[in-house]
Structure 1
């Protein structure tokens, strides 16, 4: 039996003329890690990627158990346009997109008319009420900044109560010195303007929209920051589902990379000479630098030990950025028995008891509904067996469609308890500054950081993770080549001209 001291370190680079060629270890095989590894390999670095799972993709996971692709993690392209950094590869692969929202809303990834909401007795909410309350909720939460154009627009459509609600919300945000939760902010607005309160069915619809807001951040509204909830920058083009899933994209980007699956990192040791990365089985790898792209939830768990410790400002960023959980329970049926809308929802008196289903049949043609619990409900359902969780989701469906047939198959995600993720994606928590996302990204010596939680503008998105991987790769390349004194002799394999030449139009539909 080998002892720890008997195990040899694995060098990530060959020796050339008495010295090493530039080398990097990338930790994490999601979009951030794969994009960083691809960029560094294209820059003639020796790259080894270590992934704890026995697959790549990270929190973008396309399952084929039903006989066709179903994304059980990331599923949307937020910003379906050529400006999206993932557009070139998606276009070249000819992957179809299904647009679910035509605008660039931070609140809705579906247009309001695509909802069919029901009360718990199975009665459908009138569509006029769904759209009216949705418009009030969206405008209530948007940052108006006293924009004259927006105010005139609202006046033109004679929504005076909505204007007052907007001004009250923005006034509240301007007045407070300390941050507060979205739940408290909404309650304070209605305390100030009791005439704006909704009652009965309309109030339940408002609770459903608040439930959808919680789904966007994968967290309960009483933990979401009023000051920073809308800091995310949205690309134009609206939101679109990846009809064939994200697997083809990640597989294409990972082609020809040296990827070691089943390699869970337990320790990272750094000094002026380089970095040593130790995995659970005791094997260690050495290189000039490391790009760390593991999910924020994994960093929070302290399952990876750093020697020496990370600086206090980095540890505080890891601790204070929030990580939410949204899971998916995919129900596969033998036939379609639900209306031809993109979202089915159950309205109720609390956000916890509201629910919603994504109708994949609209986008893919397959008879699948995906139940999507977030926040505390997601955590509670993860305590159940897969069978019990699927049964719970089906019972939610039966509330609104009593004649629903039982699913023939189901899939259940566990992003909150999966040791490889420990959460779905990051968000701004109450009382913590938004600049923490940038602090999480900033390198520490020869350690570089990437992933959706290091994106100041595109938090929680696939293209955000992808972009931070490219950014970390460039920072790493510059730093390592400075060390070698060869900063001017290495160039990315693909220049801007070639990238444009290889681009292809996105195939977007909404049928």
Structure 2
């Protein structure tokens, strides 16, 4: 590995790859360093029995304006544009139509209160009605959406995403992670299993310390998660303390996925969904036979993901199977088999799912997106003011940071082959 570059991109997730795509063809000596053994970051497709199981991002949220949609279309990658089965309890199992309406109304009214009369605390839980029996359901929903319960959600931050999002949520049968990693440009160097341990300011740029040796760069694009940025995984110069403080106000929530194989006949129907325990903040959302495949995708958010992290994958699989048995009957147990599970919170180079601003701290995203001294630039989903928590938000932030670098270098922006 050479020791001098114009640009070093730290992190090979969606934002790092988007930055690399933007810099490709610019003439700048660029390298991407990824601490892990693969590209993609929180976009990770694991192929089992020729089924593409997305352990990280799985939906093209706001698909009609999602940059990855255009990238997929340009590459001839199949996109499934069917409407998700979210919010429709299959056969009303364990969740009567009356209760479903009540739960949906409670969530909608909570959202209306935040929009029309936001609490001065900016704390989403302060918009809950204390006597509402569906507050646990609302907490389960925010766990899926934000990775945390309402006590830790900034109203302003939540509404910024809500206002920007569209109703188009599409999927990629061959995997979102597959799409992201396939789009690392071949003409930009990258190194896997090369963690950056220290970043220091030098007289003419930045010095990065890695196990493979030191690298000197004119500029650096940092795309690491807020958990990494605010922690001690990478030693950073004191001058970046304001950015570290901003990252601490944008902690990653907890979200995990479990996949169960369905062996043989089952009572499930393709493209349906159930909540395991509709009023429980730790409830799993189980997507049944996605694409008609013989699997169940169990999504855990907030309290449910935290419980899985504390107790381990075996206990999480057992709980998910118990929930499905409670809804479908004892015979279904014979059909279900654990396949694979994510562990985002346990990964020291990631440390969670996606960012959620703490109450009163939505402005931390703007702070985190600012560059330092035309030498260190920041990208990643947490730096996106409205599309945070998404792979397209990460993508757009990588493009933004790369264009800032091109501007500092005196080069035209948006002229590369992938811009």
CA deviation after TM superposition for structure 1 residue 245, in Å: 0.5
Residue in 2 aligned with 1:288?
Answer: 218
What does 1:459-474 align with in structure 2 at a 5 Å threshold?
Answer: 459-474=388-403
Residue in 2 aligned with 1:116?
Answer: 90
CA deviation after TM superposition for structure 1 residue 138, in Å: 4.1
Of 302, 327, 331 in structure 2, the residue corresponding to residue 400 of structure 1 is 327
Q: What is the CA deviation profile of residues 281-311 of structure 1, one whole-angstrom value per residue up to 9, with x for unaligned ones?
A: 251111211101011111122211113x134
Residue in 2 aligned with 1:77?
Answer: 60
Q: Secondary structure at the match of 2:154?
A: coil
- Using the size of structure 1 for normalisation, the TM-score is 0.75
User: Whole-Å Cα distance in 2 between the matches of residues 310 and 452 of structure 1?
Assistant: 22
User: Whole-Å Cα distance in 2 between the matches of residues 473 and 237 of structure 1?
Assistant: 29
Of 270, 280, 304 in structure 2, the residue corresponding to residue 350 of structure 1 is 280
Change (3 A) 1:385 1:237: closer
More displaced, 286-295 or 391-400?
A: 391-400
Of 211, 224, 246 in structure 1, the residue corresponding to residue 176 of structure 2 is 246
Matched, 1:386 2:313: yes
Contact kept? 2:143, 2:303, Cα under 8 Å:
no
Residue in 2 aligned with 1:372?
Answer: 299
Contact kept? 2:223, 2:378, Cα under 8 Å:
yes
User: Whole-Å Cα distance in 1 between the matches of residues 184 and 336 of structure 2?
Assistant: 35
CA deviation after TM superposition for structure 1 residue 365, in Å: 2.0
What does 1:150-229 align with in structure 2 at a 5 Å threshold?
Answer: 166=113, 170=115, 172-173=117-118, 176-180=119-123, 182-188=124-130, 190=131, 197=132, 203=133, 207-229=136-158
Q: What is the CA deviation profile of residues 404-442 of structure 1, one whole-angstrom value per residue up to 9, with x for unaligned ones?
A: 13434411111111112101000122232x121111111
Contact kept? 2:273, 2:286, Cα under 8 Å:
yes
Change (3 A) 1:247 1:229: closer
Residue in 2 aligned with 1:503?
Answer: none
Q: What is the CA deviation profile of residues 214-252 of structure 1, one whole-angstrom value per residue up to 9, with x for unaligned ones?
A: 210011222122343211153545211222102332233
Residue in 1 aligned with 2:96?
Answer: 126
Residue in 2 aligned with 1:141?
Answer: 110
Q: Secondary structure at the match of 2:79?
A: strand
Residue in 2 aligned with 1:38?
Answer: 21
Aligned alpha-carbon RMSD (Å): 2.5
Contact kept? 2:110, 2:127, Cα under 8 Å:
no
User: Whole-Å Cα distance in 1 between the matches of residues 145 and 165 of structure 2?
Assistant: 16
User: Whole-Å Cα distance in 1 between the matches of residues 81 and 136 of structure 2?
Assistant: 25
Q: What is the CA deviation profile of residues 56-89 of structure 1, one whole-angstrom value per residue up to 9, with x for unaligned ones?
A: 00001000134321000110101121x3222221
Moved over 4 A (4+): 169-172
Matched, 1:438 2:408: no
Q: Secondary structure at the match of 1:269?
A: strand
Gaps of 5+ in 2: none
- Using the size of structure 2 for normalisation, the TM-score is 0.90
Change (3 A) 1:79 1:177: closer
Q: What is the CA deviation profile of residues 164-203 of structure 1, one whole-angstrom value per residue up to 9, with x for unaligned ones?
A: xx5xx55642xx43333x3332135x5xxxxxx5xxxxx4
Change (3 A) 1:241 1:253: same
User: Whole-Å Cα distance in 2 between the matches of residues 467 and 332 of structure 1?
Assistant: 35
CA deviation after TM superposition for structure 1 residue 341, in Å: 4.7
Matched, 1:267 2:198: yes
